[in-house]
Amino acid sequence: MELHIVCIPGDGIGPEIVSEAKKVLQKVAGQYGHTLILKDVLMGGASIDAYGVPLTDETIAQAKAADAVLMGSIGGDPNTSPWYRLAPDKRPEAGLLKIRKSLNLFANLRPAYLYPQLAAACPLKEDISKAGFDMLIMRELTGGLYFGERKTTVENGVRRAVDTLTYDENEIRRIAIKGFEIARKRRHKVTSVDKANVLDSSRLWREVVNQVAKDYPDVTLEHMLVDNCAMQLVRNPAQFDVILTENMFGDILSDEASMVTGSIGMLASASLNDTRFGLYEPSHGSAPDIAGRNLANPIATILSAAMMLRYSFDLDREADEIEQAVRQVLQEGYRTGDIMSEGCTQVSCSKMGDLIADRIGA
């Protein structure tokens, strides 16, 4: 199979971690007889430096022409970088918002998996961390409160702000379908999270999700109020498989889920549209303080590449191979600085990439 992938190295540690993901992709492609066609493009601060804008129309066109996009990290230090003296719509992160909209990336996937080797870093009680967990939060990314009408007015000398939360049934249906389809690749369970006891938008959400569920009789559906879900994530995270929810709830819950894994440096993510196309990136930032020093943890980006193989190319076996290589390297006691613990061997960013690539096909 030919895999046409646009790579956005980005800013800060982005080029370093994307380089290691490419290394691993090359190894697994060779192992299974695939042809990788990789093209680097600029976005974020690197694009501002080169073109004066965080995202060019040419980059968008190149991304649309590819099968998938693999991205590093975008942005710099807001306190010191000249990028943050520009107007908000010219700053690095504006490129990220624009590419999501341009590519219609409405479904955000953030897995939260607790590696047994890193259980000591989990902030939850030992009896909970020992059980482990493996969940995926499916967040609607282009609707809801963040994209509704908003305004700030002054009425009788008093400032008043209004943000509008709206969803139509088509927006809900398409994200629900994605959630159920991905549950079929996992453990066949969907937990739909809403606030249906209060919000009309949540009541519509629940109705549409129930309708979609009828087409997936092999997937178990449960509904959970968002406040209860927040509690259950720290009480018993092992109960979750796919958490399906709207934009703001997903924003909050995915950050909570990332915290209970113990290290954001291990967390991949994907943003998908209504085809197999997706943009894959680590959940962490650009870490400009360690950029260029070969200290970054590339595992989140490598795992994002595995997600790309699974969801954009249906190459589950190849994705499994990468994930198993990561587990093996951790089991052997190799760590980057951010996940280092006593008795382990600390390695550089590039060495971690080498180790994971070497375990593929071994």
State the pLDDT at residue 120: 83
Q: pLDDT tens digit string along 58-77? A: 999 999 999 999 999 999 99
Asked which of 23-32, 88-97, 258-267, 274-283 is least confident by mean pLDDT, the reply is 258-267
- Identify the H or E element spanning 270: strand 268-272
Task: Say how far apart CA 42 and CA 55 lie, in whole Å.
Answer: 7
> Do 123-261 and 1-119+268-362 have the same topology in CATH?
yes
Which sequence spans correspond to the domains of the chain?
1-119+268-362, 123-261
Task: Say how far apart CA 355 and CA 282 lie, in whole Å.
Answer: 19
Q: pLDDT tens digit string along 82-138? A: 999 999 889 999 998 899 889 999 999 999 999 888 888 889 999 888 889 999 999
Cβ(186)–Cβ(246) under 8 Å? no
What CATH code would you report for 1-119+268-362? 3.40.718.10
Name the one residue in this structure whose structure tokens are 């190459």: 315
**Tokens of residue 110, six digits:** 């953030």
State the pLDDT at residue 227: 98
The partner residues of 37 in beta bridges, in order of sequence, read: 4
Q: pLDDT tens digit string along 186-211? A: 999 999 999 999 999 999 999 999 99
- Above 80 in pLDDT, residue 263? no
Classified by CATH at the fold level, domain 123-261 comes out as Isopropylmalate Dehydrogenase (3.40.718)
- Above 80 in pLDDT, residue 264? no
Q: Which residues are known to be catalytic?
A: 146, 195, 227, 251, 255
**Tokens of residue 3, six digits:** 């895999």
State the pLDDT at residue 102: 93
